Structure 1
Amino acid sequence: MVNNNCYINLMAKKMFEFTLEMLAGMEAQVPDAYAELIRKTGLRTEELTDWSRKAEHMRIPLDPASGVYEEHDGYFDLPHIDIHSIPVTDFPLYSKWSYDRLYRYDMIKQPDVLMFMFLYNGEFSLEAKRANYEYYEPRCIHESSLSPSIHSILASEIGKEEEAYQFFEFATRLDLDNYNRNTREGLHTTSIAAAWMNIVYGFGGMRSDGERLSFRPTLPQRWTSYSFQVMYEGVLLGVTVNSEHVGFKALQGGTASILVYGQEIKVDAAGTVLPLGEGMLA
């Protein structure tokens, strides 16, 4: 229904780039296996050239003046609607409004742009994340169950602590409180899983898209502490956060090197305790 959806185009660009990188690495490191792959698939050199060209020239709609990525071609020209003016009885909109009415305005169901900023977090500046969050948050109706959690994670990163917590509550209580008025259709299991992401990627500040696992923990004002575990390079890491300290411990599997507030630390069975980062008590 639209041209050049920003999320789809960026993910297609990443797919081409990743595929080309993996094939180049395979050719250099395991040439026999690469030759067998070419034999089995019939992959041609001109196909690789075509993929590279498509990745290089992929259209990623962006307003350079504001730093806001455009949802799709023509999105910025759509009439604005105040989503808070929509009667609650109209929700869920997908069962009450026709498609031509749904897509008539600059209202979005889910945060496409914020999603790819989360997935490829390290490639975007804090200013870019803030500009896009502040533009798209007032336009999102969260009829996707993944939407509140992604908003919570980005809100936490850009320092909007209260909004981060409110979206966390939205994600965790989506079905309990029937926020979207459609729990009768089934549980939103993605939102339940994303509630875990809220804690780990949001308040815990974990990022897994870089060369090394990193953390920038915060503590919501309503909480006294929280903890979680993640498996990283064969090491089970235990993470604890309270109002004063952040603790990391290798529960099994040896040692692991991670980044905490930008500082490299080695985590072993003895554990490491650091002060909660300056200004990190949300």
Structure 2
Amino acid sequence: MLNQISRFYATRGQWGQQSGKYGYFGVMGPDEFQLMMNNNCYINWMAQKSFEYTSDTLSEMKERASEAFALVAEKTGLRDEELTDWKNKADHMKIPVDEVTGVFEEHDVFFDMPHIDIHSIPVAEFPLYSNWSYDRLYRYDMIKQPDVLMFMFLYNGQFSKEAKLANYEYYESRCIHKSSLSPSIHSILASEIGKPEEAYSFFEFATRLDLDNYNRNTREGLHTTSIAAAWMNIVYGFGGMRSDGDRLSFQPSLPERWNEYSFQVMYEGVLLRILVNKTSVTLTAIKGGGSIDIIVYGQSITVDASGTTLPLGERMLAR
């Protein structure tokens, strides 16, 4: 699968005439208000990571399981020049970013697009798809849902808090959250960068999207993805869980109006329960036997059936 995915990315992309960089032209990223754009940063980033992950996996397989590697290479017709090509394209992938501010540009020319104050749009005009023509909808720097912020969430550990803050503040003010997945991602990042009130507000947005008919389209069906994202909001947002590093990690916080919350995750065959209250965080291996090593508030700890209790490290003040 990795070979075929990388082959697709290697044939779909092209080289820019002036930049000499590799990228993708005529595409649409997660933000569905920007279509047929060039070098969408999310797409380029994900393609680069796919090339790199494929190459790393094949290298490890060749070293540790040479017979299996030979079978895969034969079955897929893998050639050495393909590996060289994928590395070259990954190394020269265009990742548009303002070097001064650290803000990634969603796609070529995004920073130069006309700006619109999203709060100036009358509520009666929502949903915009039903009231605006496409040429009006797609001409501004208004975005439907997180795009840059999405890959910063997925590859969280590769970005500094300062970079997350800069990109959050730039793109949050341009997002109308037309997608039901949008508010929870913003809440998760807001919680991480020290904006507890915004984090809780976006959490309410995600959980009450249909109950309050925020987007004026509940009659068309429930947003089940928003309901799923609300779970993510608690686990990755208030629970501060991150799963993109070498070890599972947590940075729990507690909204001011809550007394406690808990959730469970399966990790390395062990069912882990996390309970957060106003003073402490308790982690317990409740099923699966044995113990697991995780990271909490930046410190490595071992959790077993007897449980581990730590002081609550960051108390949210959202009201």
Report the TM-score range of the alignment, normalised by the length of the smaller protein: over 0.9
Aligned pairs (5 A) from 1:190-269: 190-253=225-288, 254-269=290-305
1:40 — aligned with what?
75
- State how far apart, in whole Å, the 2-side matches of 1:255 and 1:99 are: 55
2:86 — aligned with what?
51
- State how far apart, in whole Å, the 2-side matches of 1:130 and 1:138 are: 13
SS at match of 2:254: coil
1:82 — aligned with what?
117
- Return the offset for 1:159: 0.7
- Return the offset for 1:280: 2.6
SS at match of 1:264: strand
5+ unaligned residues in a row in structure 1: which ranges?
none
The alignment status of 1:10 with 2:18, answered yes or no, reads no
TM-score of the two chains, using structure 2 as the length reference: 0.87
- State how far apart, in whole Å, the 2-side matches of 1:100 and 1:281 are: 42
- Return the offset for 1:98: 2.1
Number of matched pairs = 281
SS at match of 2:315: coil
How many percent identity over aligned positions? 74
Aligned pairs (5 A) from 1:63-74: 63-74=98-109
2:25 — aligned with what?
none
The alignment status of 1:189 with 2:224, answered yes or no, reads yes
TM-score of the two chains, using structure 1 as the length reference: 0.98
Residue deviations 1:66-116 (CA, integer Å, cap 9, x gap): 110001000000111000111112111123222221121110001101111
Out of 43-52 and 96-105, give the one that drifted further: 96-105
SS at match of 2:186: helix
> Does the 8 Å CA contact 1:224/1:243 hold for their aligned counterparts?
yes
The equivalent position to 2:192 in structure 1, one of 152, 157, 172, is 157
The alignment status of 1:172 with 2:207, answered yes or no, reads yes
- Alpha-carbon RMSD: 0.8
Aligned pairs (5 A) from 1:131-150: 131-150=166-185
- Return the offset for 1:232: 0.6
Out of 259-268 and 89-98, give the one that drifted further: 89-98
Residue deviations 1:109-135 (CA, integer Å, cap 9, x gap): 011011111100000000000000000
SS at match of 1:248: strand
- State how far apart, in whole Å, the 1-side matches of 2:85 and 2:215 are: 44
- Return the offset for 1:43: 1.1
SS at match of 2:294: strand
- In structure 2, give the amino acid aligned to 1:183: T
- State how far apart, in whole Å, the 2-side matches of 1:133 and 1:281 are: 19
Residue deviations 1:122-174 (CA, integer Å, cap 9, x gap): 00000000000000001001011111000000000001000000000000111
The alignment status of 1:31 with 2:34, answered yes or no, reads no
SS at match of 1:46: helix
5+ unaligned residues in a row in structure 2: which ranges?
1-35
> Does the 8 Å CA contact 1:243/1:281 hold for their aligned counterparts?
no
Give every structure 1 segment of 4 or more consecutive aligned residues whose post-TM-superposition deviation is greater than 6 Å: none
